[in-house]
Amino acid sequence: MVKLSIIIPAHNEEKRIKETLISYTKFFNLKLKNDYELIVIPNACKDKTVELVKEFSKKHSTLKYKELIPGGKGLALVEGFKIAKGNFIGFIDADNSTSSDEFHKLMQIINGYDGAIASRWMKESIVDVKQPVLRLIAGRVFNFIVRFLLGMRFQDTQCGAKLFKNEAIKNIYPKLGITKWAFDIDLIYLMKRNNYKIKEIPIRWRDTIGSQLNIPRASFEMFLALIRLRLIYSPFSFIVKAYDLLPEFIKIHHKL
pLDDT tens column, 217-233: 767 777 777 787 778 77
Phi and psi at residue 66, in whole multiples of 5°? Answer: -145, 120
Helices vs. strands in the chain: H and E counts, helices first: 9, 9
Domain of 196, CATH number, reads 3.90.550.10
Q: Which residue has the higher pLDDT, 39 or 149?
A: 39
Is 79 in a helix, a strand, or coil?
Answer: helix
The pLDDT tens digits of the residues spanning 201-219 come to 999 998 776 555 566 676 7
> Structural domain tally of the chain?
1
Sheet holding 63-65, edge to edge: 63-65, 36-42, 2-10, 86-91, 162-165, 115-119, 198-202
Position 256 in a domain: no
Beta strand spans in the chain (E): 2-10, 36-42, 63-65, 86-91, 115-119, 126-127, 162-165, 198-202, 204-205
Average pLDDT, the chain: 88
Structural domain of residue 73, as residue ranges?
2-250
Position 212 in a domain: yes
Position 99 in a domain: yes
Separation between Cα atoms, residue 93 and residue 51, nearest integer Å: 18
Q: Which residues contact 111 (CB under 8 A, 6 or more apart)?
A: none
Is 57 in a helix, a strand, or coil?
Answer: helix
Position 255 in a domain: no
The pLDDT tens digits of the residues spanning 101-157 come to 999 999 999 999 999 999 999 999 999 866 677 777 777 787 788 888 888 889 999
Amino acid (1-letter code) at residue 99: S
Whether the predicted pLDDT of 242 surpasses 70: yes
Assess contact for 39 and 6: CB atoms under 8 A.
yes
The pLDDT tens digits of the residues spanning 3-22 come to 999 999 999 999 999 999 99
Assess contact for 238 and 192: CB atoms under 8 A.
no
Write down the pLDDT at residue 116.
98
Task: State the DSSP H helix or E strand holding residue 24, giving kind and residue range, or none if neither.
Answer: helix 17-32
Task: State the DSSP H helix or E strand holding residue 43, giving kind and residue range, or none if neither.
Answer: none
Write down the pTM of the prediction. Answer: 0.86
Write down the pLDDT at residue 137.
77
